[in-house]
Each structure stands twice: as C-alpha cells, then as structure tokens.
Amino acid sequence: FRMIPGLDNAEFLRFGVMHKNTFLNGPMLLQPTLQMKRAPEIICAGQITGVEGYVESAASGLIAGINSAYLAQGKEPLIPPQESAHGALCWYVATSVSLDFQPMNVNFGLFPPLSKKLPKRHRIKAIADRALSSWSQFIAKLE
C-alpha cells in the first residue's frame, strides 16, 4: 500500500478483512463531519463509520476527503445537507440512538420528512428531487 501516492508514510494498524462487519458506535464517537468527537483531527470513512455497502462507503470517503482537505487548509469541515444521501448517512451515523446502533445502507427512511403528505411514488420522487437539489447546492459551495 505504501506504493500508492500519498501513503508512503502511512502507518497501518491492521490490513482489512473482507466481510467482517467491524464498526464504531458512531453516535457516541463521530460528528456529522465524520470527525471523532474527542479527537477532531481524526476523520473516519468507510464501513467503520457505520455505513453499509460499497457505494455508501465510497460516499463517506468522499466526505472524509473533502473535510480532510478543508482541515489541512485551516478551514472548517463541512456537513453535507441532511436532505442529500451523503448527508443523511452522515447524520445517521452521528446522531442515531447509540444504545442499539447498527450499520445502515442509504434508504428513504434516513431522509428528513417532507413538509406535506404525498402518495408513496410522489413522495419518493420529491425526496429524490430535494436530495439532488441540496447536493448540487453543497457541491457548488466547494472551493
């Protein structure tokens, strides 16, 4: 792994094991920025944060990477909007009930409710449209 650019000085505590579901108790340990609450200079990503799935792990890595870059530049880390898929996952891992925290895939139940009741197929489209809009606004703010 040290041959990968940027990892030449990395210290590996342990190499990963496929299909072992080890994860942090995110609500006790993580902020929605994926920083550790007690050591905010440490940013977590992937399955260990309490997200399930390859896409979700990659999404958490994107947020961790953005926030690592921001911290390195002396900027405040960002919290993606809760209305977006990335934000819904970050909020889930950081704010769920910690006594029974379990990893989660992205799903419509993680998103904040809409302001009005809609039939299911219209509700799902409205949540998806709101997610895309909030994500686009978030991305537009990145420098």
**Does residue 115 fall inside a structural domain?**
yes
**Does residue 4 fall inside a structural domain?**
no
Residue 58 is predicted with a pLDDT of 98
Which residues constitute the domain of residue 137? 26-141
Query: What's the start-to-end Cα distance of the chain, in Å?
Result: 29
Q: Within the chain, how many helices (H) and strands (E) appear?
A: 4, 0
**Does residue 58 fall inside a structural domain?**
yes
Instruction: List the pLDDT tens digit at each of the 143 positions of the chain.
Output: 678 888 888 887 766 655 667 899 999 999 999 999 999 999 999 999 999 999 999 999 999 999 999 999 999 999 999 999 999 999 999 999 878 899 999 999 999 999 999 999 999 999 999 999 999 999 999 97
pTM, two decimal places: 0.82
**Does residue 5 fall inside a structural domain?**
no
**Does residue 18 fall inside a structural domain?**
no
Rounded to 5 degrees, φ, ψ at 104 are -145, 140
**Does residue 85 fall inside a structural domain?**
yes
Q: What is the CATH number of the domain that holds 120?
A: 3.50.50.60
Residue 98 is predicted with a pLDDT of 77
- CA torsion 58-60-61-66 (nearest 10°) is 130
**Does residue 48 fall inside a structural domain?**
yes
Rounded to 5 degrees, φ, ψ at 125 are -65, -40
- Kindly state the tokens that stand for 53: 């799935």
**Does residue 9 fall inside a structural domain?**
no
